[in-house]
Amino acid sequence: MWCIVSNRVLVVLFLALLSAVSASAQSIEARFSTEKTDYLVGKPIFVTLAVSNKTSEAMWLDFKVTGFPFPCNDFDIEVPGAALASDWGCGAAASCGRGFREVQPLKTILIRRLVDASFRIRQPGLYEVRAHAIVSVHHQNLFDSPEAEKLDLSQSLAVHAIGGTEQQLKEAFQPYVEALNSSDDMIRGNAAQAITELAPTFLEDVLIKLAKSPYAYGAIIALRKANTHATRAALADIATGGDDPSVRIWAIQNLGRANDTSYLPSLIKLMESEDKEIQYVAAAAAGNVGGRAAVNRLSALVSNADAETRSAGANGLGQTRAREAVPILIEVLLDSDANVRQTAVSSLSLLTHYAAFDGNAWADISTAESAAAVHQRWVKWWSSHWTSCEMHGIADCASPKPL
């Protein structure tokens, strides 16, 4: 009994310490909030930033963030004790293209951020969500307009994560499923993001439907994350017969990352596509799914007369984690096309975590002569390391060591 009372007191004290605050400047006021404090583990958690215009004139807001490790957000969050929401593979690229946000006189805008897109709270307990925003106020919607004032807001929000049953979690997600039919773009978009980011397997039918909606890109990732027989089959259907080429390419990439070898024949068939982008991503997917079993088919591509096809084959070989791919790629360093040679360099680095360096820079392969010198360095290195060098894949992120 004492333990129960003690835990309740701890929760109350923790929540009291993290009381809501707001920050105010001359023309705007801002505060962070969550929908509530108690959440089932696995239920979406949104943080909302409300910014109010206290004046009788319209204004435009620019939101500045540190961006690391999550670029392209309007404000930063941190959750000590929670795991990072990592995705499959290495590297990240982002082009945010963010502009100013308008706030009408005496109005408030709401900006929501899904905590689960950056962090995962997997265990019951008390958590502190630290939110930080820097809001720059402008009187004109011009990129180079002067900053009229700036507000810097830091706030801690309490989250009490509670364990529950799958049935309880299904019930917790039901409002998000219903919100997919909302006429409000923001409500509908937030619901789609929550469902696709967390990708619960009990919503596989919903994820499959979302993959045929304007939310297809997020839903395709979710199909791979859910990783059920039905979601993998849906990925394969889109990959092999989708109408939108860019959506097909995204589905092929994620099908390759699902690691279901039963789809290797389909990916190898896609390698025959006349569409060079589809061929390229299909070769990479086949390499990742097939491993050693895909090496022969990929090596056939690097013998093709077409340079783009050779590059696709070299890239695919780099995904195989297969020792047999290394000597093939070393020979590709002598290819007549500089782009194909560069693909071989990248694939060798991915496979072995080694590369040829000149000082602190990657060795030049732009000319046939410089490429031949790098080829000789690789031949010499491989002859003495081929039995001991560990093979790696795209999920093994590390900077290469010098040969």
Which CATH number covers residue 187? Answer: 1.25.10.10
Residue 367 φ/ψ, nearest 5 degrees:
-115, 160
21: confidence class by pLDDT, cuts 50, 70, 90: low
What pLDDT is stored for residue 2 in this prediction? 38
Domain identity same for 351 and 390? yes
**Which position has the higher pLDDT, 143 or 352?**
352
What pLDDT is stored for residue 3 in this prediction? 41
Q: What residue ranges in 7-142 does DSSP mark as E strands?
A: 22-24, 28-34, 38-40, 46-53, 59-64, 76-78, 83-84, 101-103, 108-114, 119-120, 125-138
Mean pLDDT over residues 67-96, rounded?
A: 73
Mean pLDDT over residues 153-177, rounded?
A: 94
- How far is residue 12 from each of residues 6, 78, 152, 276, measured CA to CA in Å? 10, 22, 28, 60
**Which position has the higher pLDDT, 44 or 86?**
44
Domain identity same for 172 and 158? no
Tens digit of each residue's pLDDT (9 = 90 or more) over 267-300: 999 999 999 999 999 999 999 999 999 999 999 9
Q: Is residue 283 part of a domain?
A: no
Residue 352 above 80 pLDDT?
yes
For residue 203, give both structure tokens: 């919503």
Contact at 8 Å (CB) between 279 and 311?
Answer: no
399: confidence class by pLDDT, cuts 50, 70, 90: confident
Percent with pLDDT over 90 in the chain: 76
Residue 134 φ/ψ, nearest 5 degrees:
-120, 115
What pLDDT is stored for residue 70 in this prediction? 64
Residue 226 above 70 pLDDT?
yes
What pLDDT is stored for residue 68 in this prediction? 58
Domain identity same for 248 and 302? no
Look at the pTM and tell me if it is higher than 0.75.
yes
Last residue of a domain, one of 145, 164, 183: 164
For residue 207, give both structure tokens: 């994820």
91: confidence class by pLDDT, cuts 50, 70, 90: low
- Comparing CA positions, the residue from 335, 319, 286, 330 lying closest to residue 391 is 319
For residues 14 and 12, give the distance between their C-alpha atoms in angstroms, rounded to a whole number.
5
**Which position has the higher pLDDT, 155 or 67?**
155
CATH number at 46 reads 2.60.40.10
CA torsion angle for 181, 185, 186, 190 (degrees, to 10)? 40
Q: Is residue 24 part of a domain?
A: no
Tens digit of each residue's pLDDT (9 = 90 or more) over 206-221: 999 999 999 999 999 9
What pLDDT is stored for residue 195 in this prediction? 97
Residue 9 above 70 pLDDT?
no
Domain identity same for 204 and 252? yes
Domain identity same for 182 and 139? no
Residue 369 above 90 pLDDT?
yes
64: confidence class by pLDDT, cuts 50, 70, 90: confident
90: confidence class by pLDDT, cuts 50, 70, 90: low
**Which position has the higher pLDDT, 196 or 7?**
196
Q: What residue ranges in 274-385 does DSSP mark as E strands?
A: 354-355, 357-358, 361-362
Q: For the stretch 363-377, what's the b/e string if a residue is b when 16 or more beta carbons lie within 10 angstroms of its beta carbon?
A: bebeeeeebeebbeb
Tens digit of each residue's pLDDT (9 = 90 or more) over 105-156: 999 999 999 999 999 999 999 999 999 999 999 998 888 889 899 999 999 9
Q: Is residue 282 part of a domain?
A: no
Which residues, in sequence order, are CB contacts of 163 under 8 Å at separation 6+? 40, 41, 124
For residue 61, give both structure tokens: 């807001």
What pLDDT is stored for residue 30 in this prediction? 92
Residue 261 above 60 pLDDT?
yes
CATH number at 363 reads 1.25.10
For residues 100 and 88, give the distance between their C-alpha atoms in angstroms, rounded to a whole number.
32
Q: Is residue 70 part of a domain?
A: yes
What is the radius of gyration, based on Cα positions, of the chain?
26
For residues 191 and 178, give the distance between their C-alpha atoms in angstroms, rounded to a whole number.
9
For residues 243 and 248, give the distance between their C-alpha atoms in angstroms, rounded to a whole number.
8
What pLDDT is stored for residue 324 in this prediction? 96
Q: Is residue 13 part of a domain?
A: no
Q: Is residue 311 part of a domain?
A: yes
For residues 237 and 323, give the distance between their C-alpha atoms in angstroms, rounded to a whole number.
32
Locate tokens 């404000």: which residue?
A: 75
Locate tokens 């990929």: which residue?
A: 298
Mean pLDDT over residues 338-343, rounded?
A: 96
Per-range mean pLDDT, top range of 79-93, 134-148, 314-328: 314-328
54: confidence class by pLDDT, cuts 50, 70, 90: very high
Q: Is residue 277 part of a domain?
A: no
Q: Can you name the residues that pair with 162 across neighbouring β-strands?
A: 40
What pLDDT is stored for residue 309 in this prediction? 97
Q: Is residue 9 part of a domain?
A: no
Domain identity same for 198 and 218? yes
Mean pLDDT over residues 159-183, rounded?
A: 95
Which residues, in sequence order, are CB contacts of 179 under 8 Å at separation 6+? 187, 188, 190, 191
396: confidence class by pLDDT, cuts 50, 70, 90: confident
Q: What is the mean pLDDT of the chain?
A: 89
Q: What is the residue range of 305's domain?
A: 292-403
For residues 289 and 259, give the distance between their C-alpha atoms in angstroms, rounded to a whole number.
5
Cis (ω within 30 of 0) for the bond into 69? yes
